[in-house]
Amino acid sequence: MQIEPVLLPDFIRAINETIDKNADEVTALDQEIGDGDHVFNLKRGLHALSEQSTELAGLDWAAALQKIGMILMSTIGGASGSLYGTLFVTMSKTAKGKPMALKTFADAFSQGVESVKSRGRAGAGEKTMLDVLIPVAEKLQASAEADVPLPDLLESLAQTAVQGMESTRDMVATKGRASFLGERTKGHIDAGARTAQLMICSIIDVLSQRSASPS
């Protein structure tokens, strides 16, 4: 299955729906160890993407990813705004001039996640969105290299995202606002990890439905 930017409106719609549906739960998580604004910040960015979704669908991947990054950077705010902005702008640079085969996408996503690590000066195990993004990037790379069939790949990516999100529960936050609470962050899932997982899983759902019913 070829994945083209024409699918972006479907992805954006699915992501908006899942964040709306889970907004109260995520806000409760963020109120426990953050300042409670994470969903509000994210929604501002996702709403801006919805408004531009027709235009995004008409661009090539590099241009679409660049535009997504710029929109997110200027609308989300908070720590997550610059981190998501960096993710997509770096993905755009890696994808430039190449057809978007799975391996190219995996490389672009991995480079994007590397740039989030540098921008946030953070790594795995610090109780952030990176505890979802890093294992998903690694699984995607490994699956692209091993030529795993698409339905299996999608299922294992979704499982990896959920495991990553759940793994933040037992971690002590060492980055971002939550780090001020230190040991008291144990026992709470990180809100940014939860939204990263929800967004990744909603894209996977769209792709699973398409691969099950080829048009």
Provide the binding-site residues for ligand ADP, judged by CB under 6 A: 30, 34-35, 37-38, 41, 78-80, 83, 120, 122, 128-130, 175-177, 190-193
Nearer to ligand ADP, 64 or 87 (CB): 87
Q: Indicate which of ligand ADP, Mg ion, none lies near residue 107 (CB less than 5 to 8 Å, by partner kind).
A: none
Q: How far is the CB of 30 from Mg ion (least distance, A)?
A: 6
**In the set 38, 67, 127, 194, which binds Mg ion (CB under 5 A)?**
38
Report the distance separating Cα 186 and Cα 215, nearest Å.
46
Q: Would you say 121 and 142 are in contact if contact means Cβ atoms under 8 Å apart?
A: no
Nearer to Mg ion, 35 or 155 (CB): 35
What is the number of other CB atoms lying within 10 angstroms of the CB of residue 158?
A: 19
Q: Indicate which of ligand ADP, Mg ion, none lies near residue 122 (CB less than 5 to 8 Å, by partner kind).
A: ligand ADP
Q: Indicate which of Mg ion, ligand ADP, none lies near residue 164 (CB less than 5 to 8 Å, by partner kind).
A: none
Name, in order, each residue with C-beta under 8 angstroms of 55's C-beta and a sequence gap of 6 or more: 67
Burial class (CB in 10 A: 0-12, 13-18, 19+), 18: buried
Please choose, from the candidates 44, 55, 53, 66, the residue with its C-alpha nearest in 3D space to the C-alpha of residue 13.
53
**In the set 35, 51, 55, 145, which binds Mg ion (CB under 5 A)?**
35
Q: How far is the CB of 57 from ligand ADP (least distance, A)?
A: 27
Report the distance separating Cα 143 and Cα 187, nearest Å.
32
Q: Would you say 84 and 72 are in contact if contact means Cβ atoms under 8 Å apart?
A: yes
Nearer to ligand ADP, 139 or 188 (CB): 188
Nearer to ligand ADP, 25 or 37 (CB): 37
Please choose, from the candidates 89, 126, 90, 84, the residue with its C-alpha nearest in 3D space to the C-alpha of residue 110.
90
Binding site for Mg ion (CB under 5 A): 34-35, 37-38, 78
